[in-house]
Structure 1
Amino acid sequence: MSIPSSLTHFAASVSILLSTAPVAMADTVHLKNGDSLSGRLISYEGDVCVFSASYGTGLNIPGPDIASLQTDHDYEVRFKNGELASGRLMSNGATLTLLTSTTFGEVEVRMTEIQALTRSFVEERNPEAEDVPAEYGERTEQPPLDFLVGSTVLLGPGEYEFDMGLVYKQSRRQHNLFDVGYFQKSSYSARVIQFEPTLRAGLFDRLEGHLAVPFTYTSVEDVSSNEYVSTTGAWDLADIGFGVQYQWLDETSAHPALSFTFDIGAPTGRKRYNDAANRWKDPLNNGSGHWNVAPGIAWVRSTDPAILFGGLSYQHFFKSTIDGYAVKPGWALRSYLGAGFALNEKLSIGARFSYSYSANLKADRQIIKGTDIDPADLAFNLSYRLRDDWVVSPQIMLGLNDDAGPASMSLNLKRQFN
């Protein structure tokens, strides 16, 4: 399979952008295994460093695993021999920690010699500057991390968000009909607009739930020539989806964050198995026609300056009667891998590769050969914080094989409530 040159140029541009992306978070931990983590230092005491990753989870990092530490604020440093010093920690070459203070200047410190770090809040305050807004580029809030939705729990108890998603995809093919007229065409086109409002909520500590109620408008045109044109279109409710995600393990220096997912699909959409004469109406289908469940596992790993994520799920469909046939779709195994970057407090970008395999379906207990599919696609998304609680996220999804279908564009507008 060849990749179009335009896609190659696009991927190259994204790579250049990612390689030069600034890190939005302030503090940095360099580990002895070569990994680097960007985030916020919460505490350091008794050879245990508690560090907040870019997506808000707390990591417990053993002190002996840390090669160097860099902070953007002053800390009081208490050494194991009882001495005290104050200043800012700087990392030199990711293997050496320097303490910069007004009293001692710049001195080298070993992480194994530190007993505790305490943030210094003694700063001169300028009353006239209290109402001055933050400078551009100064961190005021967590960056939007929409590329992690579904890969980890992002909402705490009592927090919820409403996501208004809009997706557009189009498929078209045509060829000339010189035998019936020089300008005559045979063409087939299908356009789908999907509105997918989704509610996500933090149910309990480490537990998040979601409910999606999508609607679609589909228009189809089948042209044999100017004399034979068939068109149809319809608004329909698609399959309603809901589920939960449980954060099982927080990320540490030894393993990524792990969470369990469980999704349920309800057959509220349209599903028909059209005969040969009406096969051109197939795009009107916007549902599976079957109840289905999908347990899975997802992981997230921070490695400066990127956040890596992925997931694997198994989808099981239940038998149903459609158009007089007892139909049971084959099981499906779905997987994805991705990477995201928080560029600053307002902007993040992400990319995801997805691959799945669906086995052959059964009709009246007979396996229908050739109905298995294995779509693969590549998605790029950008998230921008419009205001404190509003985030807009455009996305482009490219099908990498015939089973993946046409490319699609989507736009999500999300409002968070606390």
Structure 2
Amino acid sequence: MKMYFKREQFFLFGAIKGFIFICCVFFVNPGYAETGKQNNSVAQYKKLLAEQQKEFQLQRQIIAEQGKALEQLKLRLDSLTNQGAEKQMPVKQASNKPQIVAANTKKQPSTSPNPLPSKPVGQAPPGTTEKPRPPEIPRLSDTVGGVLTRKGNIVFEPSMQYAYTSNNRVFLDAFTFLPAIAIGLIDLREVKRHSFIGTLGTRYGVTDRLEVEFRLPYVYRDDTQRSRPVSIGAGADETFNATGNDIGDLEFAGRYQLTNGSNGWPILVGNIVATAPTGKSPFDVEYVQAQGVPGATFPTELPTGAGYFSFQPSLTALYPTDPAVFFGNLSYSYNAETSTNFGKINPGDTLGLSFGLGFGINERSSFSLGYSHKHVLESEIDGKGIGGSTLDIGQLLVGYSFKYTPKTTFNLSLGIGTTNDSQDVSLNFRVPMTFDFL
């Protein structure tokens, strides 16, 4: 009985011990039950890590290829810059942004062509820069000074001109049989003339090298003449005053830049100026007999136009040497024949020459000095020359220019007569204002 109890105890004790061991295995350390699963997860992680390392190596290879493509692109741009080419050939390279591939995929990054920029980058290649334009200098005349209007811009230029002329004339209507004895009328006459001309001008830039211009003047003139015959013993001077005001002759002009001044050559600008006789013609002015001065006649009003068509081509040369600009102009004016009550009058053609220099004081102001000379050929009536009708008109020219705003400039020019046939003094004030038209 005792042995049976001990054997039963042994089996009971062993059963209890086995139960405790099982509980410890399943409840105290349950990780042992999942050891197989853990081993499978570690293998997957190692496989995933290997794939990521391969992907990383692939991305590094892509970046290296892109660096080589960028270097080729830089060399290509440098080559095009040195050669002055206007067009650049596209260079194929890998995509700028590498694609991120998922851990469980095996997609390869795609490549696409990357063309060169459509606009210039950095310094523009030679040949694509803006062509040189005539330098801006104070305007001295209709053919010398200023700068051509840019394409699509329109310039309104109101101006006011004042001119003063004084002259002493001797009229001889007599018969001379000895150098010191004359029989007839000898008239000494002093003439003082004031002229005011207000002009509205408009210039338009057809291209950067071609502009057209239209000018509409309004003229006011005032003449004072004092006359005294010396051959009849007149005791008093006769003073006569006459005025005239009306629209002047319309003016049309065109200017074209022929050369750009490269290779040491000057900039050449061709000019064409044409006038139409819309003002009061001097051949239509009536004259009256002066009282107290036998044989002397005076006009009842003053003309405001020339009375004939004219056409003047000219060539202007500009040579910039910073900060000065040398200029010169040659012109020929053709004056058309016109019919009058006196017959067919052919005004003499005119040869013109001017030269000088402009100097920039700073970015907003400049001045210029020049000289202009015109020689008027002999006039004719019904094919016969008029003696003493040739004229020489010389003027010393001084110009000042001030840029008030980027679009508005003040321009003042002064002309001082150097010959007997020229005006004593003339002042011209212009205010060109630029607007974007197209």
Question: CA offset at residue 345 of structure 1?
Answer: 1.9
Q: Give the TM-score normalised by the residue count of structure 2.
A: 0.57
Cα distance between partner residues in 2 of 1:55 and 1:342: 14
Letter in 1 for 2:407: D
Instruction: Establish whether residue 255 from structure 1 lines up as the match of residue 265 from structure 2.
Output: yes
Letter in 1 for 2:326: L
Among 153, 160, 165, the residue aligned to 2:154: 160
Q: Please name the residue that 1:229 is paired with.
A: 239
Q: Please name the residue that 2:181 is paired with.
A: none
Q: Greater relative contact order: 1 or 2 (C-alpha under 8 angstroms, separation 6 or more)?
A: 1
The DSSP-based 3-state class of the residue aligned with 1:212 is strand
The gaps in structure 2 that reach 5 residues or longer are 1-121, 170-188, 229-235, 284-293
Q: Deviations over 1:169-217 (max 9, x none)?
A: 2234689xxxxxxxxxx85422111112211111224111111111111
The DSSP-based 3-state class of the residue aligned with 1:374 is strand
Instruction: Establish whether residue 170 from structure 1 lines up as the match of residue 170 from structure 2.
Output: no
Q: Which has the higher strand share?
A: 1
Question: CA offset at residue 347 of structure 1?
Answer: 0.5
Letter in 2 for 1:158: G
Cα distance between partner residues in 2 of 1:319 and 1:401: 27
Q: Please name the residue that 2:26 is paired with.
A: none
Cα distance between partner residues in 1 of 2:142 and 2:427: 19
Instruction: Establish whether residue 195 from structure 1 lines up as the match of residue 198 from structure 2.
Output: yes
Contact 2:140 2:413 in 1 (8 A): no
Letter in 2 for 1:326: K
Question: CA offset at residue 260 of structure 1?
Answer: 1.5
Cα distance between partner residues in 1 of 2:208 and 2:126: 27
Q: Deviations over 1:122-179 (max 9, x none)?
A: xxxxxxxxxxxxxxxxxxxxx877789646752111112111111112234689xxxx
Among 382, 387, 408, the residue aligned to 1:369: 387
Runs of 4+ in 1 over 3 A off after TM superposition: 43-57, 143-153, 172-175, 223-229, 276-283
Q: Please name the residue that 2:255 is paired with.
A: 245
Contact 1:145 1:348 in 2 (8 A): no
Q: Structure 1 residues 298 and 54, CA, compared in 2 at 3 Å: closer, same or farther?
A: closer
Contact 1:146 1:383 in 2 (8 A): no
Q: Deviations over 1:71-129 (max 9, x none)?
A: xxxxxxxxxxxxxxxxxxxxxxxxxxxxxxxxxxxxxxxxxxxxxxxxxxxxxxxxxxx
The DSSP-based 3-state class of the residue aligned with 2:308 is coil
Q: Please name the residue that 2:213 is paired with.
A: 210
Cα distance between partner residues in 2 of 1:342 and 1:148: 20
Cα distance between partner residues in 2 of 1:289 and 1:213: 16
Instruction: Establish whether residue 398 from structure 1 lines up as the match of residue 416 from structure 2.
Output: yes
Identity %, equivalent residues: 21
Q: Please name the residue that 1:338 is paired with.
A: 356
Contact 2:219 2:304 in 1 (8 A): yes
Contact 2:275 2:309 in 1 (8 A): yes
RMSD between aligned alpha carbons? 3.4
Question: CA offset at residue 247 of structure 1?
Answer: 0.9
Instruction: Establish whether residue 358 from structure 1 lines up as the match of residue 381 from structure 2.
Output: no
The gaps in structure 1 that reach 5 residues or longer are 1-42, 58-142, 176-185
Instruction: Establish whether residue 408 from structure 1 lines up as the match of residue 402 from structure 2.
Output: no
Instruction: Establish whether residue 307 from structure 1 lines up as the match of residue 325 from structure 2.
Output: yes
Contact 1:195 1:215 in 2 (8 A): yes
Contact 2:134 2:318 in 1 (8 A): no
Give the total of aligned pairs.
280
> Rg: which structure is higher?
2
Letter in 2 for 1:209: V
Question: CA offset at residue 417 of structure 1?
Answer: 1.2
The DSSP-based 3-state class of the residue aligned with 2:258 is strand
Letter in 2 for 1:195: G
Letter in 2 for 1:314: Y
Contact 2:148 2:210 in 1 (8 A): no
